[in-house]
A = this chain, B = another copy of it.
């Protein structure tokens, strides 16, 4: 291809199933679909302008990802999030991230940690600009990057499931924009420990980091938080 025109973006060639999947997942993760909400197939299909076949395939996938609950002949609902779920979510998250830290440091490629620092710098900048949304995004990015750097594809897929639901929790909570800079600062010690290849300190710090936000959220969680009334 000889650059026939500046750039013309790819036309959507992904299957309907995948596009439907993305739309629904986003709606759940972003909190547009509330926990407990009924997802009626014919309704959704009409809304999205597709037939029920690809829609159902997408729902099956969401089910295995734990985002929706399918009860045979009774319909699909957005999965409810109990306090116990939150506890499980953050405890497993801690385990996975700990594993990732160890793995990244075992490889000992300094360039990797540099990428984390770049995340941090951007997060700090966004925090100073008071951009809550961007801070949240970069926060996610930081943790996603950490997992990716481990170069462990199976870990990554497990992580994705956990990560999505964490995002859902955050969205339902609309994190009161507490001290943004503090959020950014919290990541610094972790990076520094990793730069120093101090595995045990890094592990301890990330566990504390995850546990702290987990407890903070679980503390004020009502089991019917952000729940649909229908």
Contact = CB atoms under 8 A, between A and B. Distances in A.
Interface of A: 14-15, 17, 53, 56-57, 60-61, 63-66, 72, 85, 88-89, 91-92, 95-96, 99, 103, 152-155, 157-158, 161-162
Contacts of A85: 154
Contacts of A91: 99, 103, 152
Contact of A95 (B15, B95, B153): B95
A88 B158 contact: no
Nearest to A15: B72
Nearest to A72: B15
Contacts of A157: 66
Contacts of A161: 158
A92 B155 contact: yes
A154 B99 contact: no
